[in-house]
Amino acid sequence: MAALSCRLYPTNYKASPFAKPKFSISCSASQPSQPNVKVIINGAAKEIGRAAVLAVTRARGMELAGAVDTRFLGQDIGQLCGMEEPLEIPVINDLVMVLGSISQSKATGIVLDFTDPSTVYDNVKQATAFGMKSVVYVPRIKPETINALAAFCEKATTGCLVVPTLSIGSILLQQAAIQAAFHYNNVEIVESRENASDLPSPDAIQIANNLSNLGQMYNKEDISTEVLARGQVLGEDGVRVHSLVLPGLPASTTVHFSGPGEIYTLKHDITDVQSLMPGLILAIRKVVRLKNLVYGLEKFL
């Protein structure tokens, strides 16, 4: 229920000093403040999990409610993230226990999942069982897992946002690449990464898939398909990706287009995990209203 607030204001400032003052009444209705969204971070001890802890605690309308991981058990997540004051939230390895304690408060709850492709489906099911929605940022989720999650969320009428990237800059690059692909027939992707554990990167694969879905053929004059030094061809449309791996390199993705007499280049660099936090906060705000599974943060940009 809205609260009614009224104040008296004098209306005769220039009247005679012997005149009785007159007052007007101004009333306004103020809406009650909405309770904070309670956020549980599954994978809180990871680099992105720690960054998410800081981002959530600083975001308006959000409250960190739980930290789940298999490492640093019992340690205060605030101190683990380098905060001056402890959050009095210990790291535990029991998602169900955290979900149960939060569900008793009847507050809106969101689970951020930074775990592993093999556990995502069960994690979302557990969150749904306690009336909570999920934001999933786990690279390399198999298409069949996403399809199974979509069917489950549809049946349960629950929201889930699966994001292959949280970087808004990366999404903007992908959208620009799609627009450029209608005007150029030659394209190659060049990426740099600090380590070789995940190549081609999900970003490069996503860009190649987007371009392949446009029904165009690229690099028709390139006959060096079998030459390994020419990079890996993703899909059947001739989109190549080259991966450069050197310690100390920023995570960078560049898309080169060419036409007669010109080169068009799109580039995006990530130098710190903090670049993912605006997208993460946006994802939390949007998943609250969902009643099914949505794939990709670009749906909300």
Tens digits of pLDDT across the chain (301 residues): 455 555 555 555 444 445 555 555 655 555 556 789 999 999 999 999 999 999 999 999 999 999 999 999 999 999 999 999 999 999 999 999 999 988 887 789 999 999 999 999 999 999 999 999 999 999 889 999 999 999 999 999 999 999 999 999 999 999 999 999 999 989 999 999 988 777 898 889 989 989 988 888 888 877 666 788 888 988 778 899 999 999 988 899 999 999 999 999 999 999 999 999 999 999 999 999 999 999 999 999 9
Backbone angle region of 231, left / alpha / beta, with phi > 0 → left and psi within -120 to 50 → alpha: left
Same domain, yes or no: 155 and 238: no
**Domain assignment of residue 181, given as a range:** 168-270
One domain, residues 155 and 190? no
Report CA torsion sign: 149, 55, 196, 116.
Answer: negative
| Same domain (yes/no): 105, 211 | no
Whether residue 123 is found in the same domain as residue 214: no
C-alpha span between 208 and 191 (Å, rounded)? 12
Which residue carries 């150029």 as its tokens? 184
155 — alpha (psi -120 to 50), left (phi > 0) or beta?
A: alpha
Shared domain check, 263 and 244:
yes
Tell me, yes or no, whether 63 and 108 share the same domain.
yes
The total domain count for the chain is 2
What's the pTM value of the predicted model, to 2 decimals? 0.84
